[in-house]
Every structure is written in structure tokens, then in C-alpha cells.
A and B are shown apart, each in its own frame.
Chain A
Amino acid sequence: DAKTTQPTSMDCAEGRAANLPCNHSTISGNEYVYWYRQIHSQGPQYIIHGLKNNETNEMASLIITEDRKSSTLILPHATLRDTAVYYCIVRVAYGGDMRFGAGTRLTVKP
């Protein structure tokens, strides 16, 4: 059973913010939300993760709702190189395996 639900695809204009939603309504208290992306024919690249507080790093921001049932990954200024499939994954803290859903194919357009 899929633990997360994401839109199949999204478009974003170059230079604008890309907001990628993810629903994880069955998330458990000990599960973190992770975001990875995969550029064509490469291995997944870690972006960010969080438990319940909003997080920000040099790549993106992660906004998690108060009830933790959904989250949004924000790429503040999308570039053409951000075109990729973005995966939202929930995973237990102590190192359970990463199981990938279908992800969202983000296309950044000039």
C-alpha cells in the first residue's frame, strides 16, 4: 500500500517557486518525511527531511502541516536543472528501508 500520494506531474516557470505537495495521511508518530529527486538515469538525490517542524536547507524548504498528514516541498527559485522526478517518502527514524512511490515529475520551463 502506498504511504504517500503525489500528483503525477507539475510544470513550473524558471525562476519561480515550485511547490510540490504530498499527502501522507497514515503517517505514524515515529515516521519522518523525506524528499528525494531523481534526474534522468541517475541515482536518487537527497533533498530534505523533517519530522514535524518546518525545515530549510540550501536546496529547499519543507512545510509539514500541524497534523502531519501532508507536506509541501518548496524550491524557491526553480531552474531548468531542477527538472526531475520528486519522491516524497515516509520512513521510520531508526533506518527502515526507503520505499518509493510514483513521485511527481516536475518540468521547469524557460
Chain B
Amino acid sequence: GAVVSQHPSWVICKSGTSVKIECRSLDFQATTMFWYRQFPKQSLMLMATSNEGSKATYEQGVEKDKFLINHASLTLSTLTVTSAHPEDSSFYICSATSGTGGLREQYFGPGTRLTVT
């Protein structure tokens, strides 16, 4: 199956700093990528959807100026958490899908655990 990677797998940063998380599709071109976050003992919550070359579409309640998403190529999307605070500590997961129309499968990355101190 298709492979999606994330880097880093875990990161610790200080409050007020920014951190960038990369999501790559390794063996296919991802026309659409999704970003989720997951708090402990909770389900995955969709944060935003990004199409290559377009601005991301954010879910209600997600601050677009805080969570910057760039999908500049068909194999890479980045999520930057700006001015991170302890409440942003979470497990961030990306997924990617390819093609247009028809049944497009969605492949998930392994996740990035962010801890803000």
C-alpha cells in the first residue's frame, strides 16, 4: 500500500516557539492532504484539508493563523504550530489521498507527538 511519513515523530518545544511538522507521501502524488490532532483518550479530530497549490480549508474552531498549512508540492505538506502553548500539546496525524474522482483511498502517517513545555 501507499506510504505516508511524518517528521519528526516526536518533538518537545518551549512555550512561545514555533514548530514545523512535515508530512510526505513517499510513493504516490498526494493531491489532497488532511491534518488531524488527537488529544489523550480522544478520537482524531480533523483540523484542515489542503489541496496542492491551494490554501487550506480549516475546520470550524481551528485558528488558521496559529496552524499554518503549506501544501506546495504533490508529495509534501507542512503544519506549523506558531507560538505554541502547552494546550497545543497533542498527537498530530496527517493523511493523504491521490487522484481525482472515483474511490480515492486515504493513507495515514504514523503521527507526530508534540509536547509544549
Contacts and interface: CB of A to CB of B under 8 A. Distances in A.
Given A93-B102, A94-B101, A101-B43, A41 B49 contact: no
B105 A44 contact: no
B105 to A, nearest CB: 7
Interface in B16-44: 32, 34, 36, 43-44
B106 interface: yes
A100 B44 CA distance: 6
A32 B108 contact: no
B104 A95 contact: yes
A95 B96 CA distance: 10
A76 to B, nearest CB: 21
A42 B110 CA distance: 5
A36 B105 CA distance: 12
Interface in A81-110: 87, 93-95, 97-103
Nearest to B43: A100
Interface string B76-117: 000000000000000101010101111111111111010000
A46 B1 contact: yes
Contacts of B93: 43-44
Interface string B48-79: 01000000000000000000000000000000
Contacts of B44: 38, 44, 100
24 contacts: A41-B111, A41-B113, A42-B110, A42-B111, A43-B6, A43-B93, A43-B95, A43-B108, A44-B44, A44-B93, A44-B95, A46-B107, A46-B108, A93-B102, A93-B103, A94-B101, A94-B102, A95-B32, A95-B100, A97-B34, A98-B34, A98-B106, A100-B43, A100-B45
Interface of B: 1, 4, 6, 32, 34, 36, 43-46, 49, 91, 93, 95, 97, 99-111, 113
Interface of A: 32, 36, 38, 41-46, 87, 93-95, 97-103
